[in-house]
Amino acid sequence: MDTSEIRRRFLGHFEAAGHTVVPSASVLASDPNLLFVPAGMVPFKPYFLGQETPPWPRATSVQKCVRTPDIEDVGRTTRHGTFFEMCGNFSFGDYFKQRAIELAWDLVTKPLDQGGWGLEESRLYPSVYVDDQEAVDLWKQVSGLPDDRIARLGKSENYWSMGVPGPGGPCSEILYDRGPAYGADGDFGAEDRYLEIWNLVFMQDELSAVRSKEDFDIAGSLPKKNIDTGMGLERVAFLLQGRENMYEIDVMFPVIERAMELSGRTYGVNHDDDVRFRVVADHVRSSMMLIGDGVTPGNEGRGYVLRRLLRRAVRSMRLLGFEDPALPELMPVSRDKMGETYSDLVRDWDRIARVAYGEEETFRKTLQAGTQIFDLAAGDVKRSGATTLAGEQAFALHDTYGFPIDLTLEMAAEQGLAVDEEGFRGLMAAQRERAKADAKAKKGQHADTTVYRGILDAHGPTQWLAYETLETESRPLALLSGGSAAQVLREGEVGEIVLDRTPFYAESGGQAADAGVLDFAGGRVEVLDVQRPIKGLVVHQVRVTEGELSADADVFAKVDPGWRTGARQAHSGTHVVHAALRQVLGPSALQSGSYNRPGYLRLDFGWTQALSPAQVREIEQVSQQALRADLPVTWDYMSLEQAREWGAIALFGETYDNTKVRVVEIGGPWSRELCGGTHVDHSSQIGTIVVTGEASVGSGNRRIEAFTGVEGFDYLARERDVVSQLTTLLKTQPDDLVGRVGDLVERLKAVEKEVEKARVTQLLAGGAALASASADVNGVAVVVHRADGAGGGDVRTLALDVRSRLDAARPGVVVVAGVQDGKVSVVAAVNDAGRERGVSANELVRAIGQLIGGKGGGKDDVAQGGGSDATRLDEALALVSTDVARMAG
């Protein structure tokens, strides 16, 4: 049974049982504590936490997921993958344990010809939490299995929580026995034998004082009990397809087959090669899915995970013997298989390919540079007589230069060297611990929304009127000071206020919150910020500027009309620039982020190379033409599926309501995006769009900035003033200004060259005198000279010039030191006869460096260095003759 059929049967089974089929959310988690969605329940987390009211009593989904903590285990086990699909069914206060067990057992055991999966009952073992006798009784009742077929496991295996106070409960897993070839009878910890395919979470407890996964207090029972299940699609697929592991299923093995063709090696022959083939299959698919959802390679967060996956795939192909670009050969194979379910991969293929292939090309250059660094390190090891590359060096190659440890091991072996792997692993472990500690610290800062939930439960959602008016008469529902309820906010105090109705736009979708005031009898408060901490509730951060605001005061809420006009112009301008980008660069230039405030917009988009000045001008010109055309700006509400069919663009990383979304159009299909922001009525009302810059904001991401409205005209006026001042100063016309400035720059460069030439001539003019005044030190001609005002280049030039003037037949050494801007530069030069007498320029410079607070080095004939302590320079130079005498014997 192919993977798409397994998925279809799962969704069909639960839809027939009254569940709403919910499409997969983006793999990019909206939870600030998560990089990616790691489980199917994450999109439903607000419902389980009571932060939002679920729109359906029961639901089912097949969710795209990514887990990266076990990335090193990918390919080594049957079950670890970075990207995977998790099938789940969810009950929000509807059915509970018995129905969950019935539905799962029915699908798993129902014959194939009846729409089930037809797994043999004799191979299935339910597991339950050791103290959950109710689950044991229900499994026996539903399945007819005896006691010895039901495994009782502890908290670490069969109790679920989020790791923070909140809902939790016992779990029940369905395990598939793969037979004695995979482990001992009854050893349920042997996951290769007893493979978990489905986990049923009975969310029934309210947890408090959560100290660890196995150490927490149960405060009581949840008022509404929920069901959350997760079934690994890939795991069921390799069982039903008779494969050994998830990498060999129908949607992944074709990549391995292509990798075999490219490398000339065969899967199933060598364990190390098999691991590499599996890494390729997993990482190529995972990378493609991440890019498809808007991730671009970078050095931190999601971008770093993607970069690591892509580079591990390329590295594995190299270790398999294929050194040409691999992703253009492999990723289209994965696209063809996954694109059958996720059509976005096919539609956005140009963008996905450009990002992936560009990163591979960058990595190939990194490998070249890393190889040079490795060769230097290996050379140092050999010269020292050692045979092992230090763990610190291997770690630096990996961490600083992105050079994989496997390549370091491979290349070290080729040169007869070992690598201190234990030292390397220790440094890697320390780095991981630092990362975990940082992540834990960040997680601990997650905002507590309990107080807001209490307000929402008591009073209902805020009546939000930002689309309709700029002014409302309102009543406070709550005042907050320091996160707690307050009866009054005094003059000068900053706090929060929740109103029953508000005209203020709360920050979202890249648009800054409105500014304005709340007037009340005897006073006024200034609105500093407006947010939605939980769905349905609008919270205003305010500062009391006059009087005292009490919780029972009536207020008059007024948005600053100038602020709102500027915000509308900027947000509509963002849509216009986005459409212009796609018109100029092509449909794959998609927005990846934005920010707009009155008069200013910033738009990030996926692109791998800098835009030319001509492209920037064309984007600006297309934008201005849209403004001149006075295009109508309209919006409508529809389902997410309708919006997609209509061609509306949904932004990467944003989450949308599956039942109703707002689509904003500018000029019909020319610009059609999902958006909840405020907008102008016609494009001409934007006033103007002036692009002020275009730059990189990370690998595969560019940023355009622009001014709109009055701020755009102000920017142009400032530039006009600059041009006017320059034309007056240079006595020329605006059209001739560039040529005039260019002529001045060229003349300045020519003068600087002449000045430099004269300076060097003057510097070298004293070379002959210095050479003739050399001192004799034990038969060696020694010249020591201090040249104040000379930099490193000047010092070197003079030292070499003086050395060339010494008698070549007589041993000679020249040491020149210069001081410029408080920094000391030193160069020592020794002729061939001097080196034969044992004089070393390298040793002389090192000795001087110790006294002047610096260092230096080089070869025996020429060495250079520097320092920061000029006060001891004369002392250091005075010791040169002593050092020369010692070296010359």
- Is 459 one of the annotated binding-site residues? no
* Helical axes 327-338 vs 349-383, angle rounded to 10°: 140
Q: With residue 60 as reference, give the H or E element that holds it.
A: strand 58-66
Instruction: Concatenate the DSSP letters of all residues of 365-415 into one string.
Output: HHHHHHHHHHHHHHHHHHHTT--EE-HHHHHHHHHTT---HHHHHHHHHHT
Beta bridge partners of 848: none
Amino acid (one-letter) located at 605: F
Residue matched to tokens 């077929």: 149
Residue 398 annotated in ligand binding: no
* Separation CA 633–CA 4 (nearest Å): 41
Distance CA 135, CA 305 (A): 39
- Of 664, 505, 467, the closest CA to residue 572 belongs to 664
Q: Which residues pair with 556 in a beta bridge?
A: 473, 519
> Are the C-beta atoms of residues 59 and 22 closer than 8 Å to each other?
yes
3 state DSSP class of 677: coil
571 is in an annotated binding site: yes
**Rounded to an integer, what distance in angstroms lies between the CA atom of residue 49 and that of residue 55?**
15
548: exposed, middle or buried (Cβ count in 10 Å: 0-12, 13-18, 19+):
middle
Cα-Cα-Cα-Cα dihedral of 323, 327, 332, 337, to 10°? 100
* Cα 754 to Cα 356: distance, rounded to the nearest angstrom: 50
Asked if residues 226 and 203 have their Cβ atoms less than 8 Å apart, the reply is yes
* Residue 171 annotated in ligand binding: no
* Rounded Cα distance, 107 and 101, in Å: 10
Report phi then psi at 2, rounded to 5: -75, 165
Token pair of 561, please?
A: 């009309």
Question: Using CA of residue 603, residue 606, residue 607, residue 610, what is the dihedral sign?
Answer: positive
Region for residue 183 given its phi and psi (left: phi exceeds 0; alpha: psi -120 to 50; beta: otherwise): left
Angle, helix 561-585 to helix 709-730, in steps of 10 degrees: 70
C-beta neighbour count of 226 within 10 angstroms:
23
> What is the 3-class SS of 570-614, one letter each residue?
HHHHHHHHHHHHHHHHCCCCCEEEEEEECCEEEEEEECCCCCCHH
**Binding site: which residues?**
571, 575, 675, 679
Q: Which residue positions form the known binding site for Zn(2+)?
A: 571, 575, 675, 679
